[in-house]
Amino acid sequence: MLIRQASAADNRQLLDFQAQRAMQGGLPMRFDRGPDYFALHHCHALDHRTWIAENEVGDLKGIASLVVREGYLQGDIQPVAYLGDLRLVPDRRLSVSWMAEVKVRLEALADETGVQHAYCCVIRANRLATQSLLGGRRANPLKLAHWRGYSNVAVYAQRGWRSTPRAPDNVRIVQAQPCHADALRAFLDRESAGQPFGSVFSEAQFTRRLDTWPDFGLSSFLLALDAQDNLLGCVAPWDAGRIKRVVLETLPLAHQALRLAFNTCAPLLGRPAIAAPGEALRDVYLTHLHVRQRDPQIFAALLDAAWMRVRGQYALMQMCLYDRDPLWMAMTRYRAVSIPMDLYTAPCVGNAEALTAQDAERIPGFEIYLV
């Protein structure tokens, strides 16, 4: 088995491999990353590397990616890594050697970039993935430590007939304008600094996102402002469809019935239909979701405003909510389907813990839409 770093010449093979390897669980899914497999990683950070495992005739057997960026961790800014796209054909011997190789790559990354800690996410019901990462004869080869559980929440309807976004007294929701740019960037960075592995929103990095992400810009942001125009929260609905689409391979009977019932009513409600299994979902991500002190009332106002913006164009509005997250309180007025997930940390070298006891209780600095 040959293991090497992928290049642009491997793009087609990588896309085909992902198309054939759905992530298992209650809702088996895959990502369609065409036309450029590397585009999503480029949105995440400039420094990204993908490794592939091939047999003697060049057939792809496994892939793994590492994305390196600056992050807030242990009270400081340091390079951190996201470990993603872990896909492997079912083969116990290959799984053992592949995990050993990933460990070697993490150690090499530490030497090259100074990265000490990485993180990854796994579908909780994906037994194959958890067995490869945590079980087997070489238990937990990457020394993964459970960080926090979360849910990939897909909102498909609003309960009741209320159509006007609600907001607490003296709070209003506005679309971001150029005059808000500096305050917004500072707010994002301040909120992110309180989250382990949180992204660093320097002027250069914030500008890069606005310029690099397809179909995204300052006007994508919805802001919650108080009577003195202080920022209380923000969110930016983003259609990542040009570089990433979610495809559900199959639907359980209950979800099939839900889809059929919803699609029957959708034309009357002015809503797009939910895609059939094997088709790309018409979804939009709620990105850059930050709310001061995780105030569920502020989140509810942002959620309502985002819903009014996207409901006529997208069947699903996706976001990340964590276990024990106060923001769950705002979800009572929405109907949604959730996929339980888990975040893990991994040391690149040695056995150093990524999180202090205080950090372990904080909301993670994790951006689900870049997965």
Backbone angles phi, psi at 32, to 5 degrees: -95, 110
User: What gap in Å lies between CA 325 and CA 150, rounded to an integer?
Assistant: 9
C-alpha–C-alpha distance, residues 291 and 82, integer Å: 24
Residues of the chain predicted below pLDDT 70: 135-138, 161-167
Question: What pLDDT score was predicted for residue 163?
Answer: 46
pLDDT of residue 164: 47
Question: Tell me, what's the pLDDT at 169?
Answer: 82
- Residue 341 burial by Cβ neighbours in a 10 Å radius (0-12, 13-18, 19+): buried
The answer for residues whose C-beta is within 8 angstroms of residue 350's C-beta and 6 or more apart is: none
State residue 161's pLDDT score.
Answer: 60
* CATH architecture for residues 2-148: 3-Layer(aba) Sandwich (3.40)
Report the SS3 class of residue 257.
Answer: helix
- Going by the DSSP 8-state scheme, the letter that residue 332 receives in this structure is G
The rounded distance, in Å, linking the Cα atoms of 81 and 75 is 17
Residue 194's CB is within 10 A of a number of other CB atoms, namely 13
Q: What is the pLDDT of residue 166?
A: 62
**What DSSP designation does 176 have?**
-
Q: Which CATH number fits domain 154-340: 3.30.70.420, 3.40.630.30, 3.40.50.970, 3.30.70.520?
A: 3.40.630.30
- How many whole angstroms separate alpha carbon 330 and alpha carbon 165? 13
Which part of the chain has CATH 3.40.630.30? 2-148, 154-340
Count of CB atoms situated within 10 Å of the CB of 150: 23
Give the H or E element holding residue 233. Answer: strand 231-238
pLDDT of residue 24: 82
Query: Which are the contacts of 311, defined by CB distance < 8 A and separation ≥ 6?
Result: 158, 270, 271, 317
Quote the DSSP letter at residue 237: E
The pLDDT assigned to 111 comes to 96
Q: Report the pLDDT value the prediction gives residue 74, as an integer from 0 to 100.
A: 92
Q: What is the predicted pLDDT for the residue at 93? A: 80
CB 232 within 8 A of CB 295: yes
Nearest to 255 by CA among 1, 29, 58: 29
